[in-house]
Amino acid sequence: MLSIGVGSAGLLTYVYFSLASHNLDRTSYGEVVVLWSAVFVTISILFRPVEQLLSRTIAARQAHDEPIGDALRVAATLQLGLAAAFAAAALALRGPLQNDLLSGNDTLYWILVTAVLAFGASFFARGFLAGSRRFVLYGALLLAESTARMSFALAVAVGIASGQTAVALGIVAAPVLSLAVVPLAFAGRAVSRRAVQPEPRPAETQFTLAHGGGFAAAVLLIMVSEQSLLNAGPLIVRGVEGAAAAGFIFNVLMIARAPLVLFQAVATSLLPHLTRLRASGGSGEADAFRMSVRMTLTAIAAFAALVAVIVAVAGPELMQLAFGEKFTYDRAGLLIVTVGMGFYLASGTLNQAALAQGQVRAAAARWVLCAAGFVAWNFVPVLGEFRRVEVGFAGAALLLCTLLYLLYRNPPRVPRPEDTVAPGSPEEIEARLAAADETTI
């Protein structure tokens, strides 16, 4: 059910951008893309740490039949504090944000501020649902969010509404409307509670930022690096070439994003499968582990080859069919990104394998290296702005795939206990949560 929810949510997000691109002019669409990228880079940095910590702590406490009320209160306090700090910073930096980033658009500025704050509540809900193993409701939250967002673009497409503001409002309405599933979660929790005196809490399940911090920080670095590889390009192009150019390169990178929608639905199930094989410890399970990774990589290679053939034959025409005829797409650039897509999806598989092997910190270091290299490359004065992003993405994906493959092929004999992902553990939930979150952004 989680995989279905994740896959459907990602597909509806793709439809949102397709409809927006068809019904807005180049500059208006580009400004929506810049708004989207800025929102999701911000929430990844601000709110995901508490989301991860909350999911981990709830899972650990429920495993020991301990109460979770104070964990919810502390997490809420942290999230509110971060939201307040963001609001203060956004108001102080209103000039640069509104004038330099959002082309002087007052409405888009307030949508940016409100959307980030609304996602703070949404990520709190995600952490609670994941930690409680309410994955059906978690998938429903993602699906409700993406459906609400897509509905605003659809309203413009059918003539119920019009203009950039109507499309952009979907970005802020989505997290607000998705919270409709939260009362169901708390109602279920109230029904399941028993009048039993809880046992004293062990120290290891106390809700502190230090608890599980190493694993959580590594997963967070991986997620921020993913956001950099997928969203930094449009933001950098916006600063150099303008909003319309940002919309164009965002559409080109959708060649990588669209398959990611399908892959992330697989990734949410791949890690639990690999952790169970790894935990069994037998030679047969070790062979099955390697076979699972090999089969997934083979399927990705076949899929990437098929996409490359289609792009070579009719790539520009299909892009205009999907996103409208406002942009002219370069076949060579599309093929470069297609190659990068194949390596990027392979990197996702190898990353899950590395996490299952207890190599989360080493994997995070490789993600950070490649993401930093990608961002730095985009400021090197070679090639054109668009080609730099395309070549940089493909090159970073190739390097990342190579580094993660070498890591996967050389697992540690004795992983750090704090990096070990056991079946059904809070660490596994945390990593699955990260994979699911990537789908809608």
Sign of CA dihedral 218, 90, 24, 328: negative
Over range 330-338, report the average pLDDT. Answer: 90
Same domain membership, residue 239 and residue 183? no
Closest Cα partner for 142 from 188, 116, 180? 180
Q: In the prediction, which pLDDT does 9 show?
A: 77
Residue 273 within a domain: yes
- CA dihedral (425, 430, 72, 169) in degrees, to 10, reads -150
Query: What does the mean pLDDT of the chain come to?
Result: 80
Residue 197 within a domain: yes
Predicted confidence band of residue 269 (pLDDT cuts 50, 70, 90): low
Same domain membership, residue 190 and residue 93? yes
Residue 188 has pLDDT above 70, yes or no: no
Closest Cα partner for 16 from 192, 173, 189, 240? 173
Residue 36 within a domain: yes
The answer to whether 279 and 357 have CB atoms below 8 angstroms apart is no
Q: In the prediction, which pLDDT does 414 show?
A: 62
Residue 424 has pLDDT above 70, yes or no: no
How far is Cα 209 from Cα 36, in angstroms, rounded to an integer? 29
How far is Cα 86 from Cα 152, in angstroms, rounded to an integer? 26
Over range 366-386, report the average pLDDT. Answer: 90
Residue 218 within a domain: no
Residue 344 within a domain: yes
Please say which residue of 157, 179, 211 terminates a domain.
211
Q: Which domain does 124 fall in, by range?
A: 2-211
Same domain membership, residue 173 and residue 43? yes
- CA dihedral (244, 245, 250, 254) in degrees, to 10, reads 100
Please spell the DSSP secondary structure of 169-200, one letter per residue. Answer: HHHHHHHHHHGGGHHHHHHHHHHH----PPPP
Residue 377 has pLDDT above 90, yes or no: yes
Same domain membership, residue 160 and residue 309? no
Predicted confidence band of residue 405 (pLDDT cuts 50, 70, 90): very high
Q: In the prediction, which pLDDT does 271 show?
A: 66
Predicted confidence band of residue 48 (pLDDT cuts 50, 70, 90): confident
Please say which residue of 189, 211, 233 terminates a domain.
211
Q: Which residue has the higher pLDDT, 368 or 182?
A: 368
Q: Which residue has the tokens 């952490």?
A: 127
Predicted confidence band of residue 196 (pLDDT cuts 50, 70, 90): very low
Residue 220 within a domain: no
Same domain membership, residue 229 and residue 147? no
Over range 410-435, report the average pLDDT. Answer: 63
- Residues in the chain, how many? 441
Same domain membership, residue 319 and residue 294? yes
Same domain membership, residue 16 and residue 63? yes
Same domain membership, residue 388 and residue 282? yes
Residue 217 within a domain: no
Over range 132-151, report the average pLDDT. Answer: 83
Q: In the prediction, which pLDDT does 365 show?
A: 92
Over range 424-433, report the average pLDDT. Answer: 62
Residue 339 within a domain: yes
Same domain membership, residue 230 and residue 102? no
Q: In the prediction, which pLDDT does 194 show?
A: 43
How far is Cα 426 from Cα 436, in angstroms, rounded to an integer? 15
Question: How much of the chain is in helix, strand and coil states, percent to nearest 5?
Answer: 85, 0, 15
How far is Cα 258 from Cα 85, in angstroms, rounded to an integer? 34
205-237 pLDDT, tens per residue? 454 544 445 666 777 788 788 888 888 888 888
Over range 148-156, report the average pLDDT. Answer: 91
Same domain membership, residue 106 and residue 32? yes
How many separate helices (H) and strands (E) can be counted in the chain? 16, 0
How far is Cα 315 from Cα 391, in angstroms, rounded to an integer? 17
Same domain membership, residue 319 and residue 230? yes
Sign of CA dihedral 302, 321, 41, 47: negative
Please say which residue of 186, 211, 236 terminates a domain.
211
Number of domains comprising the chain: 2
Same domain membership, residue 277 and residue 416? yes
Q: In the prediction, which pLDDT does 220 show?
A: 76
Q: Which residue has the higher pLDDT, 409 or 59?
A: 409
